[in-house]
Structure 1
Amino acid sequence: MSGQLSADVVVIGSGIIGALAARRLAQQGASVLILEAGPRLERARVVAAFRNSPIKGNWMAPYPASPWAPHPIYVPQDNGYLKQAGPYPYPAEYIRAVGGTTWHWAAQAWRLVPNDVRIKSLYGVGVDWPLSYEELDPWYQEAEELLGVAGADNTGSPRQHPFPMEPVAEPWSMRRFRERLAPAYPVVANTVARNSRGYDGRPACVGNNSCQPICPVNAQYLGINAVEAAEAAGAKVMPNAVVYRIEHDAKGRIAAVRYYAPDKSEHRVTGTTFILAANGIESPKLLLLSASDTYPNGLANSSGMVGRHLMDHPSTSLTFYADEELWLGRGPQSPSSINTLRDGAFRSQHAPYRLDFTNISQVLNVTNDLIKEGVYGAEFEKQLRWRAAHQVNVKNVLEVLPNPDNRITLSAEKDAMGIPKPEAHYAIDDYTRRAAEVSKADFARIAELMGGTGLRYSADGQFANNQHITGTMSMGNDPKTSVVDGFGRTHDHENLFVCGTGVMPTAATMNSTLTGVALALRTAEHILPAKNTHAGAMHSGHEASLA
């Protein structure tokens, strides 16, 4: 065991959520050390890797897994890291590298709607959150200002203050959807962490249409921006530090973490307060790996809930040809949506959903379709131009309810470092499936209003979209049914906090990153109250975990 490192706050995981929590704590004078299992990436190399890749549809291509910190890769084949126990596959994608998975996110930065935190009380399904939407509002605002969020006011999520920026310029295709679907469906600009004007030293979006896997001009906020902001505040980042165990003392307080370097040399880091921010799969994996004689089921797991209540936003879709040329592919890849189905009394019977419009260039997909159909020569060129101009897609974003049988466990199979791989147990229940069926009527109506032909629905019972890992370390007031309290502190260990989308008790219908950031800022404030800020005024009565 090599010499020890130490910090006031040790953060495990350098994604956008952990990094922004680290930034806030460093600004308040704490010494902060961020441990990241994966390597540090260079923006220019990622952009070049994507530009030079012959396979533009594979968003993981610029982010190869490192041998010491593997992450799931499925194209051209499954690398076998995230094991599947079924009954329905859960092929989640995430990146283990400095900056985390938001290296290749779509930058959707949605708030919840107020009733999302009260679905048990209002609709008799799921669970209620241990805090209100009103309590989250100022933290949402701070998160939006840090990320530089552009948005429209008519999304169903109330706010006390305006967005930092107006929406990003509307692509022609989305304008036509908005005009032709009104008044049946109000189409609004998506809420995104993407600059519509110069903001925080970064330029405005110029419409490259490669938001995933990488924005080449840095108009889109990424986790690496959060890491750099944390470093500017004084936090230290250690890449290639594969944490494999969290240690506790005789009183149940966390005393240290152990990590492997790529050469498998062992290292130990001590601290006063620890934040687990690895993500909704790697964080519960680490808690389960850290089982001891005192905590035989893993740390923070007296409830047995660590890893349970895995949720995401499965989706089904409709592809069709509009009766006018729309030429998807100019501007952001996911710019507009329909938000009026995110809440309602129907939630007692089936899941709510958003309807999201794709704006990804159709040239590659159409080319592949034509090749499969055996079309060539002059007819190929003719069909390519027509289909690429007219082909459009709309998908739903469905809520999944918390179910303890949907969970992350440890696999019997180990990675190259000898650490058990994570294993996903997952199913999509009737509540969500009923909503997928209901949404088909919306798909059909949208196609009708757009003069749609050649309608192609996704296969019945088949769902896409495994990007929003939620709920594996849920917050709640009852230590018997939850892992952390309303401030992210684990019920079992007073100096261990969890930051990430895994603490969300329900998934709602929105991409979960912004809520994860807002909750993490609130957690950081609870750990070390600030002075002379809105947050400090709100929480100055809470005892800090640091001297």
Structure 2
Amino acid sequence: MKYDLVVVGTGFASTFFLKKYLQKNTNKKILILERGHFVPHTERMKIKRGIASDYEKLFENYKDAYINNTPHKAWMFSTGFGGSSNCWWGCTPRFMPSDFKLKSLYGVENDWPLEYADLEPYYEEIEEAMAMSGPAETMFPRKNKYPQPPHLLAPPDKILNEKYGKQYTSQPTARARQATGKRNQCIASSICDSCPVDAKFTIENSGIDVYKNDAVEVVYGAQVYSLSTLADEAHKINFIKDGKEESAEADVFILGANPLFNTNILLHSGDKNPLTGKGFGEQLGIQAVIDLKDLSNRGGSTWVNANGYMLYDGDHRKEHAACLIETNNAPYIRLEKDKWFNVMSFRLVFEDLPQAGNYITTTNNKLIPQVFYNAGRSQYALKAFEEAKRKLPSILDVLPVEKIKYRQAFETEGHILGGTRMGETAQDSVVNKYSVHHQIKNIIVLGASTFTTYSASNPTLTVAALAMLAADKNF
């Protein structure tokens, strides 16, 4: 059988691509190839709690799925139905308009081949689909209210909001402020990777039933490794299922895996672009723990109460990176009598830039890519941290701050970005603004692998918006 469409993966990118594609196209034959398996949320929670589950044998240890040649830097992901929706933390700010124009505004790296306005209608559609909670005013342009009211701020957050207004306000999030038909209200458990009350949006609880559509066939346990091409056109996708070689023919192929596997598939498929796999990375995240004198930090209604933009935009980005502040509402305890809750935690998230010394390539095992993070963090990001340390005391001058302590950089932000960047031509990128491969025109590459630069904002909402844009403009 020849399919109209073969899609790799069932995460955010593939799901929102299919949502838009199926709105526009009928009577199509679509094959979905998922590397992992379907494991219900109830079974995931059993496994998390150490309770026996028949599904446990279906889990793949992500560390076994690739070779990390710089093991001091972790690259975390989740395989199986729903992809990273099963382990994400539900943080959903939009990118800022300036994030798409680093070159033209600040003379740094490259501009994206599209603008904020190109994604704005898809941002709004996804926010509705995810029943997101968010504030009345945001730093990025919005036309309508969020579907759900904002999460509650803790006392220190309220003070900062009074001073900074929309520069410091409730985080837009897919952790439900109010129960929906399929999700419970967030209880601020700070175990968002698995969410014991099923409050965060996942592909499983989303109600976006694209995988139940009669046009769609899903194959689990299908490890895709290449596309067969002829004259720069793909005609067959190759995968291993239950230890056996299999393949499927289609008119168009959609790569919706994470950057490691999108890159691995392309490099095994005759991709000649020297940029493929180059410049992958993620943001830099560092925790600042703030001791408060006479102010308790209790009362927020979710894990990340607020986002702060005081260090985000401006001419400083000519010299160093933007920083997004995430205010964590985890139950931090200060080990001092009568000051148990007089503490708050900021996660300082800095944008970073693609560097050629950080790259993904193949191995002798066609199923397993390898990563090299030789260049590490850019000076652009590291300098921003030094500037943040200098400026944070004055930013917090309305709070009774006793001490600010900085931790080591987090091992990972859980966001693998880049490797098949988008741009205007094959000389500066791997795919175009609608995610079409420059060389092999019937391949569309989705997900964070297509990011041109690495915004300080969480990537998931933009991943989904780019996928909807691709479905809308290419079909």
Counterpart in the other structure of 2:278: 308
Whether the 8 Å CA contact 1:99–1:226 is kept in 2: the answer is no
1:251 deviates by 2.5
Query: What are the residue-to-residue correspondences of 1:327-346 with 2, within 5 Å?
Result: 331-346=301-316
Question: Which of residues 241, 266, 282 in structure 1 aligns to 2:261?
Answer: 282
Greater CA radius of gyration, 1 or 2? 1
Could you list the runs of 4 or more consecutive aligned residues of structure 1 that deviate by over 6 angstroms after TM superposition? Answer: none
**3-state SS, counterpart of residue 381 of structure 2:** helix
The residue identity in structure 1 corresponding to 2:22 is A
Whether the 8 Å CA contact 2:311–2:388 is kept in 1: the answer is no
Task: Extract unaligned runs of 5+ from structure 2.
Answer: none
**Matches of 1:477 and 1:403, distance apart in 2:** 19
**Matches of 2:287 and 2:398, distance apart in 1:** 17
1:484 deviates by 0.6
Task: Extract unaligned runs of 5+ from structure 1.
Answer: 54-62, 73-79, 367-382, 529-547
Matched, 1:520 2:467: yes
Question: Which of residues 152, 163, 175 in structure 1 aligns to 2:135?
Answer: 152
Whether the 8 Å CA contact 2:5–2:252 is kept in 1: the answer is yes
Whether the 8 Å CA contact 1:401–1:507 is kept in 2: the answer is yes
**3-state SS, counterpart of residue 120 of structure 1:** helix
Question: Which of residues 406, 418, 425 in structure 2 aligns to 1:457?
Answer: 406
**Matches of 1:498 and 1:430, distance apart in 2:** 29
Aligned residues: 468
Change in CA separation of 1:89 and 1:227 when aligned onto 2, cut-off 3 Å: farther
Q: What do residues 204-235 of structure 1 show as CA deviations (whole Å, max 9, x unaligned)?
A: 52414145222233331113345852124333
Matched, 1:223 2:193: no
Counterpart in the other structure of 2:100: 117
Counterpart in the other structure of 2:109: 126
Matched, 1:15 2:11: yes
Question: Which of residues 320, 323, 327 in structure 2 aligns to 1:357?
Answer: 327
**Matches of 1:514 and 1:228, distance apart in 2:** 16
**Matches of 1:160 and 1:275, distance apart in 2:** 31
Q: What do residues 434-461 of structure 1 show as CA deviations (whole Å, max 9, x unaligned)?
A: 10001113443466543334542124xx
**Matches of 1:398 and 1:355, distance apart in 2:** 9
The residue identity in structure 1 corresponding to 2:69 is A
Change in CA separation of 1:527 and 1:504 when aligned onto 2, cut-off 3 Å: same
Counterpart in the other structure of 1:490: 437
Change in CA separation of 1:388 and 1:330 when aligned onto 2, cut-off 3 Å: farther
1:264 deviates by 0.6
Counterpart in the other structure of 1:376: none
Whether the 8 Å CA contact 1:9–1:275 is kept in 2: the answer is yes
1:154 deviates by 3.1
**Matches of 1:388 and 1:50, distance apart in 2:** 29
The residue identity in structure 2 corresponding to 1:17 is A
Q: What's the TM-score, normalizing by structure 2?
A: 0.90
The residue identity in structure 1 corresponding to 2:347 is K
Change in CA separation of 1:438 and 1:117 when aligned onto 2, cut-off 3 Å: same
Counterpart in the other structure of 1:240: 221
**Matches of 1:147 and 1:33, distance apart in 2:** 25
Change in CA separation of 1:195 and 1:6 when aligned onto 2, cut-off 3 Å: farther
Change in CA separation of 1:153 and 1:504 when aligned onto 2, cut-off 3 Å: farther
**Matches of 1:349 and 1:419, distance apart in 2:** 40
Whether the 8 Å CA contact 2:351–2:456 is kept in 1: the answer is yes
Counterpart in the other structure of 1:26: 22
Whether the 8 Å CA contact 1:354–1:510 is kept in 2: the answer is yes
**Matches of 1:274 and 1:386, distance apart in 2:** 61
**Matches of 1:226 and 1:271, distance apart in 2:** 28
Matched, 1:401 2:353: yes
Question: Which of residues 287, 292, 297 in structure 2 aligns to 1:322?
Answer: 292
**3-state SS, counterpart of residue 149 of structure 1:** coil
Matched, 1:260 2:240: yes
The residue identity in structure 2 corresponding to 1:258 is N
**Matches of 2:237 and 2:61, distance apart in 1:** 20
1:428 deviates by 0.6
**Matches of 1:512 and 1:64, distance apart in 2:** 29
**Matches of 2:390 and 2:56, distance apart in 1:** 40
Matched, 1:392 2:344: yes
1:282 deviates by 1.7
The residue identity in structure 2 corresponding to 1:26 is L
**Matches of 1:410 and 1:66, distance apart in 2:** 25
> More displaced, 186-195 or 273-282?
186-195
**3-state SS, counterpart of residue 285 of structure 1:** helix
Whether the 8 Å CA contact 1:7–1:272 is kept in 2: the answer is yes
Change in CA separation of 1:96 and 1:203 when aligned onto 2, cut-off 3 Å: closer
The residue identity in structure 2 corresponding to 1:12 is V
Question: Which of residues 173, 195, 199 in structure 2 aligns to 1:192?
Answer: 173
Which one has a larger percent strand, Structure 1 or Structure 2? 2
Question: Which of residues 417, 421, 427 in structure 1 aligns to 2:369?
Answer: 421
Change in CA separation of 1:184 and 1:113 when aligned onto 2, cut-off 3 Å: closer
The residue identity in structure 2 corresponding to 1:11 is V
Whether the 8 Å CA contact 2:113–2:433 is kept in 1: the answer is yes
Q: What do residues 312-335 of structure 1 show as CA deviations (whole Å, max 9, x unaligned)?
A: 111122213322463669632112
Q: What's the TM-score, normalizing by structure 1?
A: 0.79
Whether the 8 Å CA contact 2:324–2:456 is kept in 1: the answer is yes
The residue identity in structure 1 corresponding to 2:119 is L
Query: What are the residue-to-residue correspondences of 1:359-378 with 2, within 5 Å?
Result: 359-362=329-332
1:289 deviates by 2.8
